[in-house]
Amino acid sequence: MTETPSLDLAFVRSQFPGLQQGWTLFDNAGGSQILKGAVERINAFLFEKNVQIGGSYDLSKSAAAALMEARTAAMHLVNARRPEEIVFGASSTALLQNLARAMQSQLKPGDEIIVTNSDHESNIGPWDRLQAIGVNVKFWPLNKETLHLELDDLAPLMSERTKMVCVTHVSNILGSVNNIRAIADFVHARDALICVDAVAYAPHRAVDVQAFDADYYVFSLYKVYGPHYALMYGKHELLEELDTLYHYFYGKDKVPGKLEPGNPNYELAYATCGIVDYLSTLGEQAGETGDTRAKIEAAFAAISAHEAELSERLLSYLRARNNCRVIGTTVSDSAIRVPTIAFRFDGRDSTEICKAVDEHRIAIRHGDFHSRRLAEYLDLTEDGGVLRVSMVHYNTVEEIDRLTAAFDLIL
């Protein structure tokens, strides 16, 4: 069996200029640092191609080619079938609101959409608002004993009127990975679609929308080492059937443009190329000589191995304390969790602990992280909510040790 190559952390950290500010950054689920290469792509577009697409002149053609390069990079990033299956937008929240709006003509009073109570509000609120047009919204509850979404709990909620099941790939509090392919198979067997919020998954693992058989799949680029922007994958035949959000003459064939009113932000979309360039380099450093997609997969294999080491370092410390409750699994297995770890210290206010950690120039966060329904369901809203340490691959074991040493002083 081939050993997973380790990351060259000196190289990795050199690609993120924001790491040079004297802070240990463990609030990455709120937003990762941006790659130097992504910023360079933004600047290149603004300085060299900053015109509207669609013109006959060479510079406009160059701008259009850059946008297509961005869609192609995103296609490789998620393993879509074609670049036109990529929709860019301001944020995951905005893209999911747009998707709900673009589906309205397909929905009739009495149709059903199922959401979970473990998602970020971005993948609940837009669907819940469809009750105004007569859609019935049902909640698939997290199992309080296992802290997992169980298909046995989904089954009785589904009927012949169920049109969509909306679910998160990873909870941004629990850190647990949901088996999207198993859920997709279950949902598709009952003639419904699946919409996945992957904001908390995409920074950590290789996304493969074909393997997942996701119908819609959304995440934010600013959580995946890019600028404050987002993308949505949709199966092409489904994107064709959505209502236009643009001008009336953007018809069925205008995919994905009809879902990007006012056109995408070209320079931020172009930054996607910088993300894929970086992942390809990591894949090459891991020994992969294949195509772009193969390099991305090799990069994430190295990333997930390093992140499992980070998770275990922190979890072993938290497990050893008799005054700490980890919210979610305490196992660091990368197949079942990402390095987003939420916990509480008995009898201590999370707000005050967070402020004390600030004094050590270490950035963590407390609260409900816009997963308020889950926090309320698990009775985690009091005393500042939960503490969350969210790591990514540019973090180090030494940084974990710095954090745990700070906890020892504070507690």
**CA–CA separation, 297 and 160 (whole Å):** 38
Q: Are residues 110 and 231 in the same domain?
A: yes
Q: Within a domain: residue 320?
A: yes
**CA–CA separation, 87 and 358 (whole Å):** 38
Q: How far is CA 21 from the centre of its chain?
A: 25
Q: How far is CA 123 from CA 126, 127, 169, 339, 387, in A?
A: 7, 7, 11, 22, 23
The residues with which 367 forms a beta bridge, in sequence order, are: 386
Q: Are residues 158 and 246 in the same domain?
A: yes
Tell me the backbone φ, ψ of residue 25, rounded to 5 degrees: -105, 105
Tell me the backbone φ, ψ of residue 390, rounded to 5 degrees: -120, 110
Q: Are residues 204 and 320 in the same domain?
A: no
Q: 138: which DSSP letter?
A: E
Q: Are residues 250 and 375 in the same domain?
A: no
Please report the pLDDT score of residue 5 as a whole number: 72
Q: Within a domain: residue 179?
A: yes
The domain total for the chain is 2
Please report the pLDDT score of residue 252 as a whole number: 84
Global pTM reads 0.97
Please report the pLDDT score of residue 3 as a whole number: 62
Residue ranges of the chain with pLDDT lower than 50?
1
**CA–CA separation, 125 and 96 (whole Å):** 9
CB atoms within 10 A of CB 410: 15
Q: What is the dihedral of CA 346, 347, 348, 349, to 10 degrees?
A: 120
Tokens 């058989």: give the residue: 213
Tokens 């198993």: give the residue: 182
Q: Are residues 141 and 269 in the same domain?
A: yes
Tokens 């005050």: give the residue: 352
Q: Give Cβ neighbours of residue 276 (< 8 Å, ≥ 6 apart).
A: 73, 74, 76, 77, 292, 296
**CA–CA separation, 181 and 410 (whole Å):** 43
What 3-state DSSP class applies to 347? Answer: coil
Q: Are residues 177 and 126 in the same domain?
A: yes
Q: Are residues 221 and 367 in the same domain?
A: no
Neighbour-count burial of 233, counting CB atoms closer than 10 A to its CB (0-12 exposed, 13-18 middle, 19+ buried): buried
Q: Are residues 19 and 88 in the same domain?
A: no
Q: Within a domain: residue 252?
A: yes
Q: Are residues 364 and 297 in the same domain?
A: yes
Helix axes 58-78, 36-48, angle to 10 degrees: 160
Q: 50: which DSSP letter?
A: -
Q: Are residues 191 and 169 in the same domain?
A: yes
List the CATH number of the domain containing 396: 3.90.1150.10
Last residue in a domain, options 275, 303, 320: 275
User: What H or E segment, with its residue span, contains residue 43?
Assistant: helix 36-48
Q: Within a domain: residue 189?
A: yes
- Of the candidates 335, 348, 337, which has an alpha carbon nearest to the alpha carbon of residue 382? 348
List the CATH number of the domain containing 62: 3.40.640.10
Q: What is the dihedral of CA 380, 381, 387, 393, to 10 degrees?
A: 80
Q: Within a domain: residue 285?
A: no
Encoded amino acid at 303, one letter: I
Six-digit token string for 190 = 């009952």
Structural domain including 186 reads 39-275
Please report the pLDDT score of residue 1 as a whole number: 38
Tokens 């669609």: give the residue: 54
User: Which string of DSSP letters, residue by residue, matches 364-397?
Assistant: -EEE-TT-HHHHHHTT--STT-EEEEE--TT--H
Residues 160-203 have pLDDT tens digits of 999 999 999 999 999 999 999 999 999 999 999 999 999 999 99
Q: Are residues 193 and 302 in the same domain?
A: no
**CA–CA separation, 256 and 176 (whole Å):** 32
Tokens 């997709």: give the residue: 184
Q: Within a domain: residue 213?
A: yes
Q: Within a domain: residue 3?
A: no
Residues 16-71 have pLDDT tens digits of 999 999 999 999 999 999 999 999 999 999 999 999 999 999 999 999 999 999 99
Six-digit token string for 262 = 């006012």
Six-digit token string for 256 = 């994905």
Q: Are residues 237 and 128 in the same domain?
A: yes
Q: Report the Cα–Cα distance between both ends of the chain, in Å, rounded.
A: 44
HSE, side-chain direction, 13 A CA sphere, residue 169: 26
Q: Within a domain: residue 112?
A: yes
